[in-house]
Amino acid sequence: MHDIKFIRENKLLFDESLEKRNIQYPSKKIIKLHDEYLENLKKTQDFQEQKNILSKKFSPKMSKQEIVSLKKEVSILKEKIEKNKSLSDKKYKELNNNLLEIPNLVDDKTPIGKDEKDNNVIRVEGKKKVFDFTPKNHLEIGENLSLLDYDKAIRISGSRFSVIKSDLALLNRALINFMLDINTDSFNYMEICIPELVKTESLIGTGQLPKFGEDLFQTNFNDLWLIPTAEVPLTNLHREEIINLNKLPLRYTSFTNCFRSEAGASGKDTKGLMREHQFGKVELVSITEPDNSMIEFDRMIDCVETILKKLDLNFRLVELCSGDLGFSSSYTIDFEIWMPGQNKFREVSSCSNCKDFQSRRMKMRVKNFENGEIFYPHTLNGSSLAVGRIIVAILENYQQKDGSVIIPNILKKYMKGIEIIKPQCLKI
C-alpha cells in the first residue's frame, strides 16, 4: 500500500506513474480523503480534550443545578465525540480501501506502453528445433501417447482440469525435483513446504485482494482461499514482523499447486496444460534491502535462465511495458518458450520486483540493530517454473516423427531409466 506522506510530497511523480499504466487516479483524490480523515480526527480529539477538562470540574461542593448543567455539557460533547469518531473511522476506511486498489508505481526501467504489443524482447536464447515433419501440439501428442485424459478430468471436475498418467506423471515429478534442486543447490534458495490455503489478509498483503477476487477460489471455511501462486504464503512468512538486517537477503522456493478461476480467459486454451484452474508451479521469493533489489532481481533471472538452458529449450526474455505490468510489480521480465506445435512463443515464467509495495501492505519491516534504523524491505517473486507449461514445451520440442517424445538429457536421472516416452496402452 502506498505511503500517504510520499503521495503528498510527490504528487506529480505519483500521477505520472499511474498514467503510465493507463490509469487516471489523481493524487488530489487521495489527499482530499486524507485531509477529511485528519479533520474529523482532530475534531474528535478536541472534543475529547474539552470533555476531559469538564470532567475534572466535578466536585462534591457543586450545587445540584451546577452538576446537572455540567453533565449536560459532557453529554453533548460525548455525542459530538461519537459522531466525529464515526466520521473519522468512515473516512479512514474509505482512504484505506482506495489505497489498497491503487497498483504499484512503475520503475524507471519499465518501457512505456499500452498493452502486451508494446512489450520489449530483450534477448533470445537457443535455437528453434528443426523437424522433418509437421510438429503436433502438446494436446495431440499427450492424447496419442494415452498419457493425457481430458474426458476423465471433465467427468471428475469439469473444464480446465487434466489427468496426467504414467510416464508423463513421472516427468511432472521429475521436473519438480529438478527445478527445486537447481534453486536450492545452485542458487541457495531455502526450500519451504507451505499451506495452499491462506487468509484474506495474506492475499491483501501480496496484492491479489481486494481488486482481483474474481480470479480466486474462496472456500466457505474460516476465511480461507486457495492460493493462486506460492508467492502469497512465501512472502507472507514475514508479515507483521521486524526482520534483523543481518538476515537479508531471505530467499525461498517451494512447489505448490496453484488455483485460478481464469475469469478473463474465456475461450483461450480451454483444453490442455497451458491455462488450467489447478496447476503446479515452483516459485521463487526474495526479501532484500532496497539498494540491492535489482541485483537480487538479476540473480533470480539467472536462476530461471539456468533451468531453461539445461533443458535445451529455445526461449526469450520479454520486458513488460507499463500497460501490461502486474498490479504489485514495479518491473517485470517474462520468459517465453518457443512452442513448435503452436507456432509461437508462450510465457512460462514471470519475474517481478515489487519493491516495498507488498512489505508495506503486510507491515513487514527490517531493523538495523546497530543504528536503530527501521525500513520496509523490497520483495521479489518469480516462477521457476510453471510445471505444466514446461511439460508442454518438452512434448512439443522433443517430439519425434513416430509420436514418441525424447526426455531431455538433464532429466534422465530423475526418470527411473526412461529415456523416451512411447505410446502406451493403459487400462484406466
Confidence at 25, pLDDT banded by 50, 70, 90 = confident
Same structural domain, 200 and 234 = yes
The domain spanning residue 78 has which CATH number?
1.10.287
Give me the domain span that covers residue 69. 4-100
Same structural domain, 70 and 153 = no
DSSP classification of residue 182: I
Q: What is the pLDDT of residue 26?
A: 82
Confidence at 214, pLDDT banded by 50, 70, 90 = very high
100, 133, 152: which is the final residue of a domain? 100
Smallest CA-to-CA distance from 110 within 260, 343, 286, 334 is with 334
Same structural domain, 91 and 155 = no
Q: What is the pLDDT of residues 393-419, one digit of tens each?
A: 999 999 999 999 999 999 999 999 999
Q: Is pLDDT at 426 greater than 70 in this prediction? A: no
154-159, long-range: CB < 8 A, 24+ apart: 157/277, 159/270, 159/271
Q: Which cell is 173 given?
A: 515429478
Asked if 108 and 295 count as a contact pair (C-beta separation under 8 A), the reply is no
Q: Which of 61-70, 71-80, 200-209 has the lowest mean pLDDT?
A: 61-70
Q: Is pLDDT at 264 greater than 90 in this prediction? A: no
Q: Is pLDDT at 212 greater than 80 in this prediction? A: yes
Q: Model's pTM, two decimal places?
A: 0.93
Please count the structural domains in the chain: 2
73, 100, 127: which is the final residue of a domain? 100
Asked if 288 and 296 count as a contact pair (C-beta separation under 8 A), the reply is yes
Mean pLDDT across 279-304: 98
Return the SS3 of 233: helix
Q: Give percent of the chain with pLDDT exceeding 90.
A: 89
Q: What is the pLDDT of residue 359?
A: 98
Q: Is pLDDT at 423 greater than 90 in this prediction? A: no
Q: Give percent of the chain with pLDDT exceeding 70.
A: 98
Q: In whole angstroms, what is the distance from residue 402 CA to residue 380 CA?
A: 43
- Domain annotation covers residue 254: yes
Same structural domain, 261 and 409 = yes
Q: In whole angstroms, what is the distance from residue 138 CA to residue 168 CA?
A: 12
Q: What is the pLDDT of residues 374-383, one digit of tens each?
A: 999 999 999 9
Same structural domain, 94 and 228 = no
- Domain annotation covers residue 106: no
Q: What is the pLDDT of residues 91-139, one digit of tens each?
A: 999 999 999 999 999 999 999 999 999 999 999 999 999 999 999 999 9
**Mean pLDDT in the chain?**
95
Return the SS3 of 212: coil
Q: In whole angstroms, what is the distance from residue 1 CA to residue 7 CA?
A: 11
Same structural domain, 56 and 126 = no
